[in-house]
Amino acid sequence: MGVSDVCGLWQRVSEPEEQRLLELLSYGLVAVGAGSAVLLRFIHMPYGRYSSRRFGWLLPARLAWALQELPSLLIPIWLAACGGAVTAAWPNRILLGCFIVHYVQRALIFPFLIREGKPTPFFTFVLALLFCVYNGYLQGRSLSNYAKYPSGWLKDPCFITGFMGWLTGMAVNIHSDHILRNLRKPGETGYKIPRGGMFEYVSGANFFGEILEWFGFALACCTIESLAFALCTLFILGSRAKQHHQWYLEKFEDYPKNRKIVIPFVY
């Protein structure tokens, strides 16, 4: 089966049944996020400083990051290339572009900036890979085939506000990752308190950036699929930020007590 045959298949399955499937998958994504938040109250997500061989053999951090994030980059590109019903509309192109730009950074740039990252357990890698396949299809299919916008959508306050939220959140996320990578000077070991940027306000500054990014994206898209992704991100990254916050408080006696967990001034 060639590329044209596969694209033809995708075009033939564009039916109300698939649209209903995307809606159900959106509810499932929220359930995954909520379930993960409950689970993370009792166990640490096995990655980074919490990495453990109990969750399978360990993969190099750079390789694991690149491979697990790639589906969220490649699947939307493939779906857009197949020419969905609304792919040619400018709002859809731009919103798909936002999603793809994020995963270009996460799959092709971020892994190669990692400095001696802790290895990733195989179980954690598989979960992340499956999530990216799931969400890559969900967001890519929605924006390439079903999401329809009025002619003036790019000037609508919802789109403009959402796009600015997406852009600001991505900038905060990238800047916060930069701070974390440069906490230790060459040859130094051990952990340090992150300072600067949004870390002056929250322990999970990188998580806050990504949460803001995807809620901005959801506002710009105004689709159930994008809202489900934003809520799932909030549940999972909020829980991970709480883990980090508690770890910092236990590790450092001088950790700033005024810092919130992940939402500045609120939580």
At 149-167, the pLDDT tens digits run 999 999 999 999 999 999 9
b/e map 238-251, b = 16+ CB within 10 Å: bbbbbbbbebbeee
Q: Is the pLDDT of residue 194 over 70?
A: yes
Closest by CA to 166, choosing from 102, 81, 236, 112, is 102
Residue 15's pLDDT is: 73
Q: What is the mean pLDDT of the chain?
A: 90
Q: Is the pLDDT of residue 46 over 80?
A: no
- Residue 85 or 59, more confident: 59
Residue 82's pLDDT is: 86
Band of residue 119 on the pLDDT scale cut at 50, 70, 90: confident
What's the whole-model pTM score?
Answer: 0.91
Residue 92's pLDDT is: 97
Residue 10's pLDDT is: 57
Count CB neighbours of 63 within 10 A: 13
